[in-house]
Amino acid sequence: MNNKIELGSFPEASELSKCKFMVKLEERWSRHNTLVCVGLDSDEEKIPRGESIERFNQQIVDKTHDLVCAYKPNTAFYEARGFAGWLTLEETINYIKENYPEIPVILDSKRADIGNTNLGYTRMAFDRMGADAITVNPYLGSTFFDGKEIKLEALQPFLEWKNKGIIVLAKTSNKSGGEIQDLPINLRQLTTYSDKFGRMDELREKIGSDIVPLWSIVAYRVAKYWNVNGNCGLVVGATYPEELGLARKIVGDKIPILVPGAGKKRGQGGDVEAAVKAGIDSRKQGIIINSSREIIFASSDPTDFAQAARKATQELKEEINQFRQ
């Protein structure tokens, strides 16, 4: 019996009905001509004195809604406040859904666990919070071969939400990410692996080498095997434009890439021009460039912080668009 997984086992995303998250995202990219995502990392210690986080978020959203392709609250800034923080997060997402329902909300929580636990995470993110997408960690995997067919496992509860975006960490923007993500893997030595998880000849062809970084295997498997419902995306940091370009080559046009770390003032130093040129797809879109602190804390003045956020968002949108040509 041939117990190897062959390429092309799952249908291409184009063969499937469109995920609602993807429809929203593509609408913002094309009709509103924007690749900007505003990260609502609303640190209580940094918001203007006298403002609640709820009201702070609402004013940021009201001033920037026509300039963005998505909003991305990071759950850490809300979880730190306990029950009150969770209520604030829920109220923020509800406010966006009620007032600007066409704008997708990405919950940045990097969840990962075994299937049963992930059921709880999906209910939190999608049923309770009403987010359109969530970031997840690939470390527990998702597919395996049982000798007869490919089966989904750990991340299955996320991937089965056909209308929600599942955005998988590949190459993160932080400096120490390469400690594990860049580990070199020799594809020709993965005989046992390929028997259980599938050959990666196509990945070898795309990279042009037998030696590949671990993160590229994640990107390849997400595009080739995990994207069963056409609802997967990747995270690749703006701080690594060369890797971002390689990720785009690996996944083609069908996978959106969330690009954190852009900005040299309060961001992580990612070069906007390099990130745009490396990450856009053949349609001159396909990326979600996130900026958090550079936008929402552009001013600490309680009288103009929302207007300052709008100005910073507009500037980033214009900077990105000049490099899309």
pLDDT tens per residue, the chain (325 residues)? 233 334 344 444 444 469 999 999 999 999 999 999 999 999 999 999 889 999 999 999 999 999 999 999 999 999 999 999 999 999 999 999 999 999 999 999 999 999 889 999 999 999 999 999 999 999 998 877 777 777 778 999 999 999 999 999 999 999 999 999 999 999 988 877 877 777 888 999 999 999 999 999 999 999 998 998 999 999 999 999 999 999 999 999 989 999 998 876 645 667 999 999 999 999 999 999 999 999 999 998 888 999 999 999 999 999 999 999 7
Q: What is the pTM of this model?
A: 0.92
Instruction: Tell me the pLDDT tens digit for each residue of 298-316.
Output: 998 888 999 999 999 999 9
Residue 199 burial (C-beta neighbours within 10 Å; 0-12, 13-18, 19+) = middle
Instruction: Tell me the pLDDT tens digit for each residue of 5-61.
Output: 343 444 444 444 699 999 999 999 999 999 999 999 999 999 998 899 999 999 999
Q: Which of 120, 138, 122, 148 is nearest to 180 (CA)?
A: 138
Q: What is the pLDDT of residue 269?
A: 64
Q: What are the sequence ranges of the domains in the chain?
A: 13-322
Alpha helices in the chain (DSSP H): 20-31, 53-64, 76-79, 82-99, 115-122, 156-159, 178-181, 191-197, 201-207, 214-221, 241-251, 272-279, 293-296, 305-322
Beta-carbon count within 10 A of 147 CB: 8
Q: What token pair was written down for 137?
A: 């960690």
Catalytic residues: 110
Please give the Cα distance from 288 to 309 (Å, whole number). 18
Could you give the 3-state DSSP secondary structure of residue 160?
A: coil
CATH among 3.20.20.70, 3.30.70.270, 2.60.40.10, 3.30.420.40 for 13-322: 3.20.20.70
Beta-carbon count within 10 A of 276 CB: 24
Please give the Cα distance from 148 to 1 (Å, whole number). 9
